Amino acid sequence: MQDCKLCIGPCTTRGEGFYYDAFYGDLGLNDEHFKQIEKKPLEAVGEKQPFERIEVTCDHALEIFSGNKFTIEIINDLPADKTITVYRCVPWLICAASSAYWKVDKNRESLQRMAYLIPTRREYLLQLEEAKKYDHRILGVKQELIYHHEWSWFFLTHGARIYNKLMDFIRNQYRDRGYQEVNFYSWGFL
């Protein structure tokens, strides 16, 4: 966990938190790692460490982040006179994780993307828990509409019937609106 290199961390569009892409080398994060990651900023809050917003020059930012090649790359892409904002001691809660490629380039390093919430937004966590009850992957299996086996999803009888009805509807809409159908089949990683 100490070899983590933070990359990009913008605010989310609704302002309930932010996400960070981070490089962990070959480490794949799991729930235990998330607990460790959440623990550090909460310790800082318990110690009543001040939250600071600091504006620095590009040269100063290069010094601060000298051990992080990703952040250095971002800084070097900025104009030399750009003021950079750095935050210290931000408490957060992890609410989701996925993966991303550095600069959306599949030939670059694979990163772990984690979405964070500021603890004052805990009601959002409750909304996420509520939303999990309506996850189509879970409901579809419970209602025997779909079946999951290893890396594949299959429509069962009733699920296939619903899928075909939806496709018939969409095809009728294409015709009624003067469009022609085009298909693309992805065979996955063979």
Residue 129 has a CB neighbour count (10 Å cut-off) of 10
For residues 106-133, average pLDDT: 69
So where are the chain's domains? 5-51+89-132, 137-176
Q: How confident is the model at residue 91 (pLDDT cuts 50, 70, 90)?
A: low
**What count of Cα atoms within 13 Å lies in the side-chain half-sphere of residue 35?**
3
pLDDT in tens, 162-190: 999 999 999 999 999 999 988 877 665 44
Query: What integer pLDDT is reported at residue 124 of this predicted model?
Result: 60
With a pLDDT cut of 70, the percent of the chain lying above it is 69
Name the pTM for this structure: 0.45
Q: Which fold has domain 5-51+89-132?
A: Threonyl-tRNA Synthetase; Chain A, domain 2 (3.30.980)
Contact status, residue 47 vs residue 88, Cβ threshold 8 Å: no
Query: What integer pLDDT is reported at residue 163 of this predicted model?
Result: 94
